[in-house]
Amino acid sequence: MPGPKKIRFGGDYNPEQWPREVWDEDIRLMRDAGINLVSIGIFSWALIEPEEGVYDFTVLDDIIGLLHAAGIDVDLATPTASPPAWFYRKYPHTRAVTRDGVPLAFGSRGIVSPSSPEYRLAATAIAAKLAERYAQHPAVVLWHVHNEYGAPITESYDDASVTAFRAWLQDRYATLDTLNAAWGTNFWGQRYGSWDEIDAPRTSGTASNPAHRLDFHRFSSAALLECFKAERDTIREHAPQPITTNFMAGICPSVDLWQWADEVDIVANDHYLTAEQDDNHIQLSRAADLTRSLARGKPWILMEHSTSAVNWQPRNIAKRPGEMRRNSLAHAARGADAVLFFQVRAGQKGAEKFHSALIPQAGEASRKWRESVALGADLTALAPILGSQVHARVAIAWDWTSFWAQDLDWRPSVDLDHRERVEAFYSALWRRGVTVDFVHPADDLTGYDVVFAPSLYLIEDDAAANLRDYASGGGTLAFSYFSGIVSSNDDVPTGPYPGQLRDVLGLVIEEFLPLRAGERTTLADGSIGRVWSDDIELQGAHSVTDFADGPGTGRPAITRNGFGEGTAWYLATALDGADLDGFVTAVLDSADSTYSPISDLETVVRHGDDTDYVFQINHGALDAGAGIVGHDLLADRAVSSGDAVPGGSVRVVAVPRADG
C-alpha cells in the first residue's frame, strides 16, 4: 500500500450520515487518535449516482479533500454492495430470490443477484467512474471493492442465476452424460435429458440431490468472484493502487476464499467476536491465522472489527476494559499490518446504530474514546514490525467445499459439526502455544511438522493424493472422524469408508456408529468421547486405545499408522478439554514438533529481517510471561528477564535475532 510506513489505524467512515459541521469534529478526533486510514463510499451509490447515469461527486470530493488535508489516507470503496432504490425499481428482476421463491425486498442490504447482467453492468460502470475520478488522488491508497461478498446472501434462485448456473455446469461437465454420472442422477430417477431441465436446487419434497446442491454452492461462490473480478479489472484500467475486498474468513462460510485470495492484491478481513462464546479470544486467533494463511503468510489488513459490542448478535456483550487492545494486538501479532474498525463514528439511525465505534455515542468524555486514542499510540509504536512475518510448523486442513458438503441434508448424525471440531483442535493447539497455519488439503504441505484434519468429510482426488504424498514423504497427519468419506461430488468411492484415506490411515470402517443425543463413550485410556464412534477394522495401523464401552466396544478409538516415511493418526470420536489436549500432544510428540503449554498468555512471534517481535498478550488476571529479554515497543522500555506481563496487558518485545 502506498503511504507512510505505519501500522494503519482507522475504520469505515460514513460522513453522509451527518451534517457537514460534524465532519470537522470527526477529523479533529481522528487526528487526536492517530487515525491514518479510513474507508469511505461503501454505501454511497445513491449519493453519487442519484439517478441512473447522473453522477454527483461533491460530497466525495469534499470529504476526500478534507481527509487529505488532515493527512489521513483513504481506502476508497465501490458502493456496489448496495444498489440504489431507483435501480431495483427499474430492474426488479435483479433481486435475489430465496430457495422458497421469495424475491428479497429493498430496504435492507445485500439483495442483488450476483448473476444479474444488469447488475454487473451497473456495478462496473460506477466502479469505472470512481476509478477515473480518483485514481490519481494522492489521498487514495487502496481500493475496496464492494463489501463482504456473500453476506447476508450468497445463493440466489432468480432466473438469471439459473441461466448462469446452467452455463457454469456446461463449462464444468461439457456433456449431460458427464453431469448425470457425476451427480448420480440414476438415483431417485433424476436423470436430465436437456440442459434446460436443470434448475437451481429449490425447496422440494424432501432432500435434494446433494451433488446438485454442492455444485450450486460452488457456482454461487464463483458468481460472486466474477463480480469482484469484473470490478477489479475495471478499476485496474485506471488506477495503480492495490485493490482488495473485505473477506469474512472464519465467520461467513459461504464463499471459497482460497480461490478469492489469489485475486486480491492484499488480503483484507473482517472479524467479529462471538460475544457470548467463552474462548472467543482463541477464536479470534483462529480467524487471524486463517486470514494470514489466505495471504500466504504476507501481512494483511484487518479491515473491520469492533471496539466493543456489535448489534446483530442475540446478546451484544460489551468489551471489558483492555479487551479491545488485546484483540487488536492479537490480530497484529498474527500478521495484520492494519487495524481498522467498523466504524469511526457510531450511527444514530438505521439498523446498526447500537454497534460500537471508535467515536462512541458517549463522545470524547468516555472510557471507550480514551481507549481508541491509546490504541492509536500503541499502533504508532509498532511501526518496526511492518512487513515482518509469522512462521508456523503446524497446520490445520480447512476446505470450504468440504464444509458445504458436510452441511447438506441427511448426514449420519446432526451432531456432526465441522466448525466445532476445528475450533476444538485449534483451541487445544493454542493452549499448547502452537501457532497454526490453515491449509487447503491440496496445498503444498512441505515444511509442516504436522497437519491436523479435524473434519474433512469431502476430499477431492488431487487433495487425497497430496495428503498421501505428504505422509509418505515423512509428514504427520492427524484426522478425526467422518473424514475422507466422499470425493468431489459428494460421492462415496467404491469400497469401505473412508475411501479417500484407507491406505494412509491403514484401516477401514465397517460401519459408522454415531452416538445418541447426549451419549458418552469411554476409551480404554479413560478419555470420554461424544457424538461418534466407528466400527474399525485395522489394516496395518495399530490401535493406540480402544473403546471401552458404547457401540464401538473393543474396537479401536485412536489409531496410528506408519505410511512411507511418515505417520497418520485417526481419532474416531469427539474428545474435549484435557482428553483432546492429550491426543494433540501425542501427535505433536510423535512428530517431534515443539510446543510449550500456556494458560492465558498468548505468545506469537513476528519475524523481521533481523529481529523477532514477541507478542505477549495476557488474557488472564495474573502476571505471566517473564523470562524474555529485549525492548518493549509499546512501553518503549527495556524488558529484563524478571519482568512479567501484568494481567490483562500486552507486551511486544523486540528481540534481536542471532541470525539477524
Q: Footprint of a second copy on residues 422-441 (CB under 8 A)?
A: none
Q: Which residue has the cell 464412534?
A: 533
Q: Give the contacts of 50 (CB within 8 A, at least 6 positions apart).
A: 56, 84, 86
Q: Per CB under 8 A, does 526 bind a second copy? A: no
Active-site residue among 49, 148, 371, 423?
Answer: 148
Cell numbers for 23: 465532519
Among 137, 166, 172, 202, binds a second copy (CB under 8 A): 202
Work out which of 34, 114, 201, 250 binds a second copy, going by CB under 8 A.
201
Pairing type for strands 436-439 and 637-639 reads unpaired
Q: Does 360 bind a second copy (CB under 8 A)?
A: yes
Q: Which of 51, 444, 462, 610 binds a second copy (CB under 8 A)?
A: 51
Q: Which of 71, 347, 582, 620 binds a second copy (CB under 8 A)?
A: 347
Instruction: Tell me the site size for a second copy, rule CB under 8 A.
Output: 120
Taking the complex as a whole, the smallest distance from the CB of residue 327 to a second copy amounts, in Å, to 16
Q: Per rule CB under 8 A, is residue 207 in the interface with a second copy?
A: yes
| Residue count of the chain | 660
Which of 56, 171, 262, 537 forms a contact with a second copy (CB under 8 A)? 537
Q: Report the Cα 427 to chain-centroid distance in Å.
A: 16
Say how far apart CA 258 and CA 321 lie, in whole Å. Answer: 36
The answer to whether 304 is a known catalytic residue is yes
Give the per-residue contact string, 319-338, with a second copy (x = CB under 8 A; - = no): -x------------------
Q: Extract the C-alpha cell encoding 13.
A: 467512515
413 binds a second copy (CB under 8 A): yes
Residue 263 beta carbon to a second copy: minimum distance, rounded to whole angstroms: 24
Pick the binder of a second copy from 32, 62, 171, 197 (CB under 8 A). Answer: 197
Closest CA to 135 of 147, 143, 146: 143
State how far the Cα of 468 lies from the Cα of 478, in Å rounded to an integer. Answer: 12
Which residues sit opposite 439 in a β-bridge?
A: 397
Choosing from 155, 304, 460, 602, the catalytic residue is: 304
Q: Which of 409, 609 has the CB closer to a second copy? A: 409
Stretch of 29-37, 208-216, 428-436, 586-594 contacting a second copy, by CB under 8 A? 208-216
Which of 406, 413, 409 lies closest to 513 in space, CA to CA? 413
CA distance 558 to 127: 54
In the complex with a second copy, the residue whose CB is nearer, 493 or 556, is 493
Stretch that binds a second copy, among 261-269, 345-353, 430-438, 648-656 (CB under 8 A): 345-353
Binding mask 64-103 for a second copy (x = CB under 8 A): ---------------x--xxxxx-xx------x-x-xxxx
Residues 6 or more apart in contact with residue 252 via CB below 8 angstroms: 148, 150, 151
Min dist. Cβ of residue 426 to a second copy (A): 23
Residues contacting 347, CB < 8 A, separation 6+: 14, 17, 353, 355, 357
Closest approach, Cβ 443 to a second copy, in A, equals: 27
**Whose CA is closest to 62, among 147, 141, 124, 137?**
137
Residue selected from 317, 374, 586, 654 as contacting a second copy according to rule CB under 8 A = 317
Residues 276-315 that bind a second copy (CB under 8 A): 276, 308-309, 311-312, 314-315
Q: Cβ-count burial of 297 within 10 angstroms (0-12 exposed, 13-18 middle, 19+ buried)?
A: middle
C-beta closer to a second copy: residue 300 or 512: 512
Task: Tell me if 145 sits within 8 A of 246, measured CB to CB.
Answer: no
Query: Rounded to an integer, what distance in angstroms lies between the CA atom of residue 442 and that of residue 440?
Result: 5
Give the C-alpha separation, 394 to 430, whole Å.
11
C-alpha 425/C-alpha 430 separation (Å) is 9
CB 292 within 8 A of CB 335: yes
Instruction: Provide the minimum distance between the beta carbon of 206 and a second copy in the complex, in angstroms, as a whole number.
Output: 4
Task: Choose which of 27, 127, 131, 211 interacts with a second copy (CB under 8 A).
Answer: 211
Instruction: Please report whether residue 108 would count as binding a second copy according to CB under 8 A.
Output: yes
Known catalytic residue: 423? Answer: no
Q: Please select the residue that binds a second copy; options are 170, 274, 316, 545, rule is CB under 8 A.
A: 316
Q: Tell me how far, at minimum, the Cβ of 331 lies from a second copy, in Å.
A: 22
Q: Which is nearer to a second copy, 36 or 356 (CB)?
A: 356
* 53 scored as a contact of a second copy (CB under 8 A): no
How does DSSP classify residue 518? T
Window contacting a second copy (CB under 8 A); options: 226-234, 330-338, 341-349, 638-646: 341-349
Q: Which residues pair with 397 in a beta bridge?
A: 439
Stretch that binds a second copy, among 65-73, 410-418, 592-600, 625-633 (CB under 8 A): 410-418
Binding to a second copy, residues 466-505 (CB under 8 A): 489-497
Minimum CB–partner distance for residue 412 and a second copy (Å): 5
Q: In angstroms, rounded to a whole number, what is the distance separating the alpha carbons of residues 311 and 272? A: 11
Closest CB to a second copy among 186 and 594? 186
Which 362-381 positions form the footprint of a second copy (CB under 8 A)?
362-363, 365-368
Q: How far apart are CA 269 and CA 262, in angstroms?
A: 14
Q: 142 CB contacts (<8 Å, ≥6 apart)?
A: 1, 37, 73, 74, 75, 76, 241, 242, 243, 244, 266
Comparing C-alpha atoms, which of 176, 169, 209, 203 is closest to residue 190?
209
Q: Which is nearer to a second copy, 433 or 540 (CB)?
A: 540
Catalytic residues: 148, 304
